[in-house]
Chain A
Amino acid sequence: DAGVTQSPTHLIKTRGQQVTLRCSPISGHKSVSWYQQVLGQGPQFIFQYYEKEERGRGNFPDRFSARQFPNYSSELNVNALLLGDSALYLCASSGAGLAGGHSPTDTQYFGPGTRLTVL
């Protein structure tokens, strides 16, 4: 079975540009989360989407936006890129996404990431 897939693998942009990153979840998973991982640090939560609705957002500016499609794939958009946006962007998918607390079906499985470099 295919795991979480992300595209592109690497991306180079310049300051002020816009970027779109793509993610396909594990088959059967309805929830997608996005994380930013700066070199030498742990991943930082950006968003979670479940059934095409944003369910939660981390401490990131409005330049970051996302959406989820009917097939549960997702796109992360970042506008007006800054040098500090250079990072590995990780997508994670999970299953049922029921509210009320984490269960094993909510475990997030990560893709390989997209390495974004802003010059």
Chain B
Amino acid sequence: GESVGLHLPTLSVQEGDNSIINCAYSNSASDYFIWYKQESGKGPQFIIDIRSNMDKRQGQRVTVLLNKTVKHLSLQIAATQPGDSAVYFCAEVKGTYKYIFGTGTRLKVLA
């Protein structure tokens, strides 16, 4: 079946280091991918998105890379801060509105 999954369930990084969160997807029909951040007790928060006709997109301290050849998506966070501690989800968009989420990666920032 279709799925969007993550390689690492938990990632621990030192404050100030860069973080890389990975995601593999199995359905190549999507043309849009989105990263969300979910803090404890809150709903997912939009971080950044990317179309399938792009391989890289940068935001403020975040970069998303898309490799369609191997169906791989990554989120890079520069100079990781304690406030970045959360669960990160990649979502594959099918059509206009159906978002398929993976199980998530927990990012722990160590002081």
Contacts and interface: CB of A to CB of B under 8 A. Distances in A.
Interface of A: 4, 31, 33, 35, 40-45, 48, 50, 55-56, 58, 90, 92, 94, 97-102, 104, 106-113
Contact of B103 (A41, A48, A106): A41
Interface-centre pick from A33, A42, A98 (highest chain B CB count, 10 A): A42
A112 B42 contact: yes
B97 A94 contact: yes
Given A44-B101, A45-B99, A110-B45, 14 more contacts: A33-B99, A42-B4, A42-B101, A43-B99, A45-B98, A55-B97, A56-B98, A92-B43, A98-B96, A100-B96, A101-B31, A102-B95, A106-B97, A113-B43
Given A45-B98, A56-B98, A106-B96, A40 B44 contact: no
A110 B44 contact: yes
A56 B100 CA distance: 13
Interface of B: 4, 31-32, 34, 36, 41-46, 49, 89, 91, 93, 95-104
Nearest to A50: B97
A58 B42 CA distance: 23
Contacts of B98: 45, 48, 56, 58
B58 to A, nearest CB: 16
Contacts of A50: 97
Contacts of A92: 43
A90 B44 contact: yes
A107 B97 contact: no
A97 B45 contact: no
A94 B91 CA distance: 15
A99 to B, nearest CB: 6
Nearest to B4: A42
B103 A40 contact: yes
Contacts of A102: 31-32, 93, 95-97
B21 to A, nearest CB: 13
